[in-house]
Structure 1
Amino acid sequence: MSGTLELKKVFIPGVCAAALLLSACGGGSSSSTTVRDETPPPEDTSSGRDDFSGQGVKDYFVGPDATPEAGVFLGEVTYTNETPAVEGMMFLSPTGNFSFILGADSITSGTLTFDGTNVVGTAVEYELFDKWFRSPGALTSTAVSNESATFDPSGIVDEFTITRDSVASDQTLTFDQIQGLYKTTAGAEPQITVDVDGGINGVDRGCILKGQITIPVPAINVYELNYEASGCNAVGEVTGSQRDGEYLGVGTFNPADAGGIEFGASNGKIASFFTGTR
């Protein structure tokens, strides 16, 4: 996937995730140079459907006049406390739903819309320290074009900029391309099988995963997915009941070599990022 950000760590569904604004993973310790907001997080919600509101393809996210056009983006977050800018990766669906992965262990789910003047959106941040934090936020664009957008987010972030990777984004996407068995380098599990109709079946240390991939616009290399995780075991700080649930997410296909899939997803309690190859 030429030009896209290569993540430093393999993510495991339901195990390691964090927030757009902060970076942390496991054990109550953090590699983040930012300061965590100590305000208690909102209560967990019932499913990932509470993190996304986009339904149906939006014309303002498709084609040469889109602002911006859906696809795979490189992102850069600048903090107000003058820490170095951090690079990430964003998958924006033609429905406006997106998943943003910041650094090596940070996940945000949300939805963008166009109000006639600005691109605005909702974002739900997930962070894991000694417990899970789930915090809603908002985004408002200050500059936008077909290939990029700059946002003024709520929170400790000063600026959030995304730049579209046209090479990764403008590839035709079909179920025939993405069907197959995907494994990570983390071990025998997790693993996910995508069938010829986009159905998902997988396992992850006690979790049984079952769901469906949808392709909103075949000319754009971004898909949406939903899946149910059931029977999950506790892993680290994450309980089995937290890992259980209905996940929604957004991802992309990497046609290099044997092919790979990447997606970010959330279930209203935790968030996760999966990257696997055939």
Structure 2
Amino acid sequence: MNAFGTPRRALVGVAALAVALGAGTGTALALWDDTEQFSAEVGSGMVGFAIGKPGAADRTVAAGPADRLAFPLGPDEATTLLDTGEVAVGIQVDARADGNKGLSYALDLPDLPADSIFGSSTVRVYRVDSAAACSAHGITGRPPAATYTPADPDGDGTFEPGPAGWDRTWASSTPVRADYDDDWTATEYWCVVATLGDLPDEGSYTNTATVSVEVDGDTYTAEDTWRADVTTAADPADEPTHTINFTHSTTRPGE
């Protein structure tokens, strides 16, 4: 069988690279044989790994075991986050391994600049059961795999900074086990949920003016106070790209 269930043709020779899979999307999933010689007993050791937005034809495909696959969060997602105060971004991971190979992968989470829109937001990364389960209104029944807390998460319109950062900078999964006898494919989903806090240029100020005048030896004083809110000048078009990097590896039984 090839990557997602169609009949496999015999593999001959060494390192059969870039076997293509259309999978009905028009985008090929690159496969490779990372064993030096085909073995009928353990299969070809064929592996496939790809990421992208759920259901999208445009996926990032690993060309080999050393590839790092990048999933970007940038101006488009920041626009929704600034306009609505929240955003949820789904990620689909397609994995395939055979020949008694197990496949694991990890997500390396990005540094978020404190003056960026994402860096001013609480960001939670979840593994979810389906694309439909990814929602900005919350993920039920499962804690986040990682959480970023911004300098001021409360969103009250006044920036009062505190410590910021991830509670952990990575997450991982093992979708394909190493103790099987047949081809094995898996699709997993992740959800990045961001809730906007206070941006560094937000706040308020209060001014007080006092006027005194003396009339016929008496002093009269008047005082007035006024308050103004300062809204952010952040422009989503200037948001830097925050990249989640995916890496993967394979193992044999007992490793």
Structures share a fold, TM > 0.5?
no
| Larger-Rg structure | 2
What is the TM-score when the length of structure 1 is the normalising length? 0.21
What is the TM-score when the length of structure 2 is the normalising length? 0.22
